[in-house]
């Protein structure tokens, strides 16, 4: 039963872009928001949770519920999905099974579940920690090597030869000591599906095209544009594949962010995450009467009405600004010129000058975000590329 003023706990990482957007969504709904983080909460109204110890984290949430009342627990990023699922199970909220949430954090287990569900995906093999760098690829060449427990393209490298595979393994093991996933490289266009699960039924909120060719050796996320320009039949095939993937993994409730490749009339599922799109990319999306993705997520978690989930506002897109090389960020100039590009509606730089930054595959952050809107997806893409060309990123 929801009290007069509902209270929702939102789990965010300490270094997050998204806490302010969830605060704004909570204010729009008139609900009480508690921000939980693995270290010091980023906002005054918050609690600390040990996200690497779900049992203790859930015990603290249960104590909070007993003291003040909690009506929902929502994970913003990958790091909180297991705790949110376990809290939902303990406190009686709609939730994903904790083992399903855990499978989305372990790429090897996710691949095994997709295989058991006969979901189309790349051929794969799993390598135990400490394996030899000169071991043969289990799937042939070209292949892609991934740490099983990282996200955001961190540690993901393509290898076309045995020598490149050995070098990729050695490089990843400098900052990752767990198992490695080796997948067959799948050519094609990459897309991202943003969805909402309600009782196991997937509702598509948006399908993004990624028009930049993601061919390696690293795989930086850059441009996302919606609506997709793929034919209707291809979009439907992506939706079916992602729905099957959610069922195979065991996901049933809440936001879903999935990545897939399409080519030669086929769809391959690359990733399924039990959370919404990362960074500030959600700012490209508005639904129904203009509500944000964060408000959609909170409404679902609190079992509030969600009558109209149609995306509104024409074509929209975001460009994540990758770190071009490792070093210290000195400055980013040209922002006024970029803002002047027709169709650009916002620029958000998220790394302050003087901060050390790392390029992929070691890095895990972007320098900022460009946002664009237009009548057609092609115009959005053109505006983002034009604006990016006007920026000068100085790193020493």
Domain CATH code at residue 391: 3.30.470.20
Q: Are residues 93 and 150 in the same domain?
A: no
Among 16, 9, 21, 3, smallest CA distance to 291 is for 21
Q: Is the pLDDT of residue 102 over 80?
A: yes
Q: For 291-326, how does the pLDDT look when each residue is reduced to its tens digit (9 = 90+)?
A: 999 999 999 999 999 988 999 989 999 999 999 999
**What CATH number should be reported for the domain holding residue 151?**
3.30.1490.20
Q: Are residues 363 and 325 in the same domain?
A: yes
**What CATH number should be reported for the domain holding residue 18?**
3.40.50.20
Cα 223 to Cα 97, 151, 209, 382, distances in angstroms = 32, 17, 8, 11
Tell me the C-alpha distance between 127 and 144, whole Å: 13
Q: Are residues 11 and 96 in the same domain?
A: yes
Range of 381's domain?
314-396
Label the pairing between strands 344-349 and 327-333: unpaired
Strand partners, 256: 195
Q: Are residues 367 and 330 in the same domain?
A: yes
Report the pLDDT value the prediction gives residue 230, as an integer from 0 to 100: 97
Tell me the C-alpha distance between 71 and 235, whole Å: 35
CA angle 207, 375, 17 (to 5 degrees): 55
Backbone φ, ψ for residue 141 (5° rounding): -130, 150
Q: Are residues 388 and 342 in the same domain?
A: yes
Q: Is the pLDDT of residue 354 over 50?
A: yes
Tell me the C-alpha distance between 265 and 394, whole Å: 42
- Asked if residue 233 is part of any domain, the answer here is no
Q: Are residues 92 and 129 in the same domain?
A: no
Per-residue pLDDT averaged across 368-396, rounded? 97
Give the domain-ending residue among 140, 155, 184: 184
Q: Are residues 45 and 74 in the same domain?
A: yes
Among 112, 90, 110, smallest CA distance to 102 is for 110
Contact 29, 304 (CB under 8 A): yes
Q: Are residues 89 and 143 in the same domain?
A: no
Q: Are residues 88 and 134 in the same domain?
A: no
Q: What's the longest Cα–Cα distance across the chain? A: 63
Q: For 207-252, how does the pLDDT look when each residue is reduced to its tens digit (9 = 90+)?
A: 999 999 999 999 999 999 999 999 999 999 999 999 999 999 999 9
- Asked if residue 335 is part of any domain, the answer here is yes
Report the pLDDT value the prediction gives residue 40, as an integer from 0 to 100: 63
pLDDT interval class at 3 (50, 70, 90): low
Tally of domains within the chain = 3
- Asked if residue 216 is part of any domain, the answer here is no
Q: Are residues 91 and 41 in the same domain?
A: yes
Q: Are residues 148 and 65 in the same domain?
A: no
pLDDT interval class at 1 (50, 70, 90): very low
- Asked if residue 250 is part of any domain, the answer here is no
- Asked if residue 306 is part of any domain, the answer here is no
Q: Are residues 86 and 167 in the same domain?
A: no
- Asked if residue 360 is part of any domain, the answer here is yes
- Asked if residue 83 is part of any domain, the answer here is yes
- Asked if residue 113 is part of any domain, the answer here is no
């Amino acid at each position: 039963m929801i009290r007069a003023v509902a209270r929702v706990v939102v789990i965010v990482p300490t270094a997050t872009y998204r806490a302010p957007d969830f605060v704004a969504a909570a204010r729009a709904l008139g609900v009480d928001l508690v921000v939980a983080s693995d270290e010091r909460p980023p906002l005054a109204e918050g609690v600390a949770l040990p996200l690497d110890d779900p049992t203790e984290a859930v015990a603290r949430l249960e104590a909070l519920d007993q003291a003040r009342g909690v009506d929902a627990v929502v994970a913003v990023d990958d790091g909180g999905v297991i705790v949110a699922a376990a809290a939902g199970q303990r406190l009686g909220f709609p939730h994903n099974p904790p083992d399903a949430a855990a499978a989305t954090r372990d790429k090897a287990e996710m691949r095994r579940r997709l295989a058991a569900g006969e979901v189309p995906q790349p051929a794969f093999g799993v390598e135990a920690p400490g394996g030899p760098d000169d071991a043969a690829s289990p799937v042939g060449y070209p292949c892609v090597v991934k740490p099983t427990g990282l996200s955001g393209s961190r540690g993901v490298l393509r290898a076309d030869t045995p020598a490149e595979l050995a070098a990729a393994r050695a490089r990843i093991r400098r900052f990752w000591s767990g198992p490695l996933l080796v997948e067959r490289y799948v050519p094609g266009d990459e897309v991202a599906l943003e969805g909402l699960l309600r009782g196991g039924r997937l509702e598509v909120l948006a399908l993004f095209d990624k028009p930049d060719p993601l061919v390696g050796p690293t795989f930086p996320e850059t441009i996302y544009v919606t609506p997709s320009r793929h034919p209707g039949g291809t979009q439907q095939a992506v939706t079916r594949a992602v729905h099957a993937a959610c069922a195979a993994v065991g996901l049933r409730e809440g936001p879903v962010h999935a990545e897939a490749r399409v080519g030669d009339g086929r769809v391959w599922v690359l990733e399924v995450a039990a959370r919404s799109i990362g960074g500030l990319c959600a700012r490209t999306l508005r639904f129904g009467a203009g509500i944000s993705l964060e408000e959609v997520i909170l409404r679902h978690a609190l079992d509030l009405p969600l009558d109209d989930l149609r995306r509104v506002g024409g074509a929209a897109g975001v460009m994540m600004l990758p770190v071009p090389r490792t070093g210290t960020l000195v400055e980013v100039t040209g922002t006024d010129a970029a803002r002047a590009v027709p169709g650009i509606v916002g620029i958000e730089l998220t790394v302050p000058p003087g901060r050390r930054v790392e390029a992929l595959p070691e890095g895990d952050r972007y320098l900022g975000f460009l946002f664009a809107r237009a009548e057609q997806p092609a115009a959005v893409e053109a505006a983002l590329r034009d604006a990016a060309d006007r920026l000068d990123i100085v790193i020493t």
